[in-house]
Structure 1
Amino acid sequence: MRRLVSTLGLILALGGAAWAQEDAPTVPTAEQVEDGVPSQADLPPLPEGLAEDFARDASGDAVEGRSQTNSAMASASAAYLVGDFQGALIHAQRAAAGGEARGATLAGHIRLHGLTGEASDEDAVRWFRRAAELGEPDALIILSRLASEGRGGLQAWQSREFLAQAAEAGDARAAHEYGLYLMERGDPGAASEALNWLQLAAESGRFEAYGDYAFALADWDHGPHDLEAARVWYVRAGEAGDPSSALIAGLMLMEGEGGEADEAAGARMIRMAAEYGLPAAMGQHALLLYQGVADRAPNPSEAVDWARQGAEANDPDSQFLLAYALATGDGAPRDLERAYYWVLRAAAPRGGRTPEDFDRDRLEASLENALPEAVLERVRVEAAVESSPF
């Protein structure tokens, strides 16, 4: 049976710190925004701070007794939430005229995404700048993204200035994004500053920053390679709901990286990652179930259940384990034809190459000796079709 994947190999496969930015809201170009009002299902995500404010407004707080500016903002929120974007824009502009930064941010959001007609980067930037002058973090972060793309009359060099302004105002989300911005630039001279901002974001309780800070501590080229501190933050990130961090934390605990080995805690984190739905974790969890860990007896049937879930989600380790189970009858009824199918799926090229795997190759050869050529050819066609990205 095979070993757990290495932590470094897993981090490389997952793309380092990239998972934190994959969920970052994108800023569409005007050409990407179709004319007309989008359906609720197609609405762009609200900026994070505005979304939190809108949730509070929707919780039932009375509008009576508020200042005229706050009442205008509450009316803008209510109109936006029911799809009255023209009304939301009018109320947001009224709030902005009264000095409410969130009103200017909402007006910019509506104009950027063309929710009342044609999108306009220039109009959006004008409103976001108005909010930014009042230190509004959402506006500063969006301006940074627009500047990085040279949109709305902004220049790329302004991106760093906008993020720095937001981070220095004490916003944890901005500190997180600014730290990532500095990391991506790859400037060794800014490494300490990048780590400081990520640390501030993480220690401020921004759970989205936990995994990125852990990666910077352990595996970033310009980081301190502090596995002990990184393991703490990977565990926190995993417990906060980050599947990739949960898997990395589990592997570090299992292998004794960054501290003493703790198989029980490591297995718990790996299972957590699998339950979050991470295919790579499903294969690792299945392997632990096959082998037994931390005084727990092997459980081949449960291992097969998890391997099947990971295999169907295209995780190669899960596919190999499922093929092994079907070939040996260990945890599932023996089925050589399906075993051959899954071992071929496990061998399918990923990223333009097929990773070397002696165990997989040996199982494939054994199955080819056991099955008729007609069956082999039919299964090869089926596996090739299912493995095709097209």
Structure 2
Amino acid sequence: MGFEEPVIVRHATKVLVVICLCFCASLNIQAQTSIATIEHLGVTPKPTGLTVEIVLSAPFTPQGEHVTNPDRLVFDFPGFRLQAANPQIPVSNGPVRKVRAALFQSNPPIARVVVDLKEAVSFQVKSAGKNVVIEIPYANSSPVVADSRPPATLAVKKAEPDPPKSSPPAHVPPAAHPSISAYKLQDKAKDLKLEDLQGLEDKAAAGDPEAQTTLALALHGATLLKPDDVQALRLLHKAADQGYVAAQESLGIFYEIGIGIEKPAPEKALEWYRKAIAQGSLDAATNMALMYLDGNGVPRDPPLAIAWFRKAAEGGEATAQYNLALIYARGKDVPQDYNESLRWLTAAADHDVLPAITDLASFYLHPPDNRRADVNRAIHYYEKAAGLGSVPAESTLGDIFANGVDGKPDYAQAVIWYRKAAEHRDPSAQFGLALRYAIGQGVPLDLEQAFRLFQAAADQGEPRAQYDLATMYEEGKGTPADAALAEHYFQLVAERGMSQAQFRLGRLLAGKKGSRPDQVSAYKWLMLAESTVKDASPILVELRKSLSAGEIKDAEQQVDSWRAAHVENPKR
């Protein structure tokens, strides 16, 4: 039995995920996790509609889509998994029935949030760093009481303001409190213990601006306290009026998202961001850049946005550096410049921004321009990412060493990295490690261990593992033969367009002579595989002899239907 890494025909076009172009300077860089997750899903009824708040482990802004039959809103998060298993929140308020989340695809992972509807609605997506807020206004709604809303977490976002188009100052003044930002205080608020509360409240009552800001963020995040955004807003104003930068940054976020108020107030958000910038806040400068880049609430002005990004980036603000790298790589609002992108990507990676490190590693491994790949540099940055806990980086290192550096595979190193990632249940690494056991590369040949790892990866939706698992079931290698399970796993991958799986499934079904439906299905799958798998043709010829004209027509219609359903969709 030959194990291989078969080619998957992916019928969905690749989605360009520009992680940072839609978030503010909210990266808590040291706290970046290796696998992005949806950490919290909450719903807040409002008098004028409904707010869905999604807390992520890493910044990202999804694109929403309205789907019919039945009506629902769909928001995909490529590269994300769920922290909790398939959360569901019954709503039954206005046109919204329920809000739910699930892992739509395992490899590469795509988490999906769905809002089930009674009728079509409008919606607006706002991102605030690690928070995504989905506003669903109701056309004719009566006030609702929200006395048991789930706790929310403050994180920063992009913006939607309306200011005069002021150019960035030639020099951003030093911050009044350079070591304290809204994001650091947010982390401090999250870590509060019960015994800390009384002292914090006493300091806030005495007018201490840091205590007021920390308490406000604790009230918003429901840290040991009942959530109270209105009181949080009052406390932030008290601290901000004393010139406290972190409070000014937080007020910008609150007004931008609409926390503690009936609806977002972009003008006020800009006002507070400007005050923070005047005191040297690079985070607020990055937020200002995102306002103009996004054009939400202000006329879109990419040159001004880039100027603000550059000011913040030159001041050492890592999120701005990463944004600039992505802007120059995309070449949408500026001429594409990979050298400039590489410059800022390296700067952000030097600040341990995990997405920047992995992007930089990918740049050196697969350069987007005509320069030569630098595998050793790629390994350096993937190892750095792995050291920060990136499981995908560990898996990629396994691939690099398995494929060979300068044409020389190092299977022992590949196994080390695959094993590290497989221990975190990474399906691609489980597959890579299974393949080593199946072939005996870097480890002793062990088909039973290969089977267990293929099974683990296949159960997470890894198509290559599903194919090899089906092969093992069909041939009885590493496990007792089981034609039904072989058919099941071949079917999973055949539906995704893998021609080898379509051929193997068709051949398997063709052998079930006593079932006419299976013979028709066999014809369908062999027809789909025929253009790329030569061995399908002779089986098709023999199968045609045993089928009636009506059965052949049925099979051909099934082929047409399958192809129509798997045509690339430019929207996805």
TM bin (shorter chain): 0.7 to 0.9
> 5+ residue gaps in structure 1?
none
Higher mean Cα deviation, 320-329 or 275-284? 275-284
Q: How does 1:132-143 map to 2 (within 5 A)?
A: 132-143=277-288
CA distance in 1, matches of 2:229, 2:328: 36
Task: Name the structure 2 match of 1:183.
Answer: 329
Tell me what 1:155 maps to.
Answer: 300
* Separation (CA, whole Å) in 2 of partners of 1:40 and 1:162: 37
Q: How far off is 1:85 after superposition?
A: 1.0
Equivalent positions of 1:12-31 (< 5 A) are 23-26=58-61, 28=126
- State the alpha-carbon separation in 2 of the partners of residues 140 and 255 from structure 1: 44
TM-score by length of 2: 0.57
1:69 to 194, 201, 209: 209
Quote how far apart the aligned CAs of 1:312 are. Answer: 2.9
User: Which whole-Å CA distance do the structure 1 matches of 2:253 and 2:420 have between them?
Assistant: 37
What is the deviation of 1:218?
2.7
Tell me which protein shows more strand as a share of its residues.
Answer: 2
Could you tell me how far apart the structure 2 residues matched to 1:315 and 1:31 are?
A: 31
**1:239-262 alpha-carbon deviations (Å, 9 max, x no partner):** 433333322221111222368532
2: distance between equivalents of 1:256 and 1:109? 48
Which AA in structure 2 matches 1:286? A
CA contact (8 A) 1:132 1:140 kept: yes
2:177 match: none
| Larger relative contact order (Cα-Cα within 8 Å, sequence gap ≥ 6) | 2
**Map of 2:393 onto structure 1:** 245
Residue number among 457, 464, 467 corresponding to 1:310 in the alignment: 457
Determine the structure 2 residue equivalent to 1:198.
345
Please say if 1:337 is aligned against 2:484: yes
Q: From 483, 486, 495, give the equivalent of 1:348.
A: 495
Partner of 2:291: 146
1:1-390 correspondence to structure 2 within 5 Å? 1-4=2-5, 23-26=58-61, 28=126, 32=135, 41=150, 43=152, 46-47=155-156, 50-57=182-189, 58-59=191-192, 63=200, 68-82=208-222, 83-116=227-260, 117-157=262-302, 158-185=304-331, 190-222=337-369, 224=371, 225-257=373-405, 261-294=409-442, 296-349=443-496, 354-357=497-500, 360-372=501-513, 374=515, 377=518
Supply the AA of the counterpart residue of 1:52.
K
SS of residue paired to 1:32: strand
Would you say the 8 A contact 2:270–2:288 is kept in 1?
yes
Task: Mark the CA change 1:134 to 1:38 in structure 2 (over 3 Å): closer, same or farther.
Answer: farther
Share of identical aligned residues, percent? 20
Deviation, structure 1 residue 326: 1.0
Question: Structure 1 CA distance, aligned partners of 2:326 and 2:253?
Answer: 23
Comparing 212-221 with 252-261, greater Cα deviation is found at 252-261
d(CA) in 1 for partners of 2:519, 2:259: 52
Q: Which amino acid aligns with 2:462?
A: D
Structure 2 residues without counterparts, runs of 5 or longer:
22-35, 37-57, 62-124, 128-132, 138-142, 158-180, 526-557, 559-564, 567-572
**More deviation, 108-117/24-33:** 24-33
Distance 1:355 1:196 in 2: 39
Alpha-carbon shift at residue 223 of structure 1 (Å):
7.3
What is the number of equivalent residue pairs in this alignment? 375
Structure-2 separation of matches of 1:251 and 1:330: 24
Shift of the 170–231 alpha-carbon distance from structure 1 to 2, 3 Å rule, reads same
Shift of residue 336, structure 1, vs aligned partner: 0.3
**Bigger mean CA offset, 64-73 vs 213-222:** 64-73
SS in 2 for 1:222: coil
Whole-Å separation in 1 of the counterparts to 2:380 and 2:219:
44
**What is the CA-CA distance between 1:375 and the residue it aligns to?**
8.6
Return the alpha-carbon distance in structure 1 between the equivalents of residues 416 and 423 of structure 2.
10
Change (3 A) 1:69 1:118: same
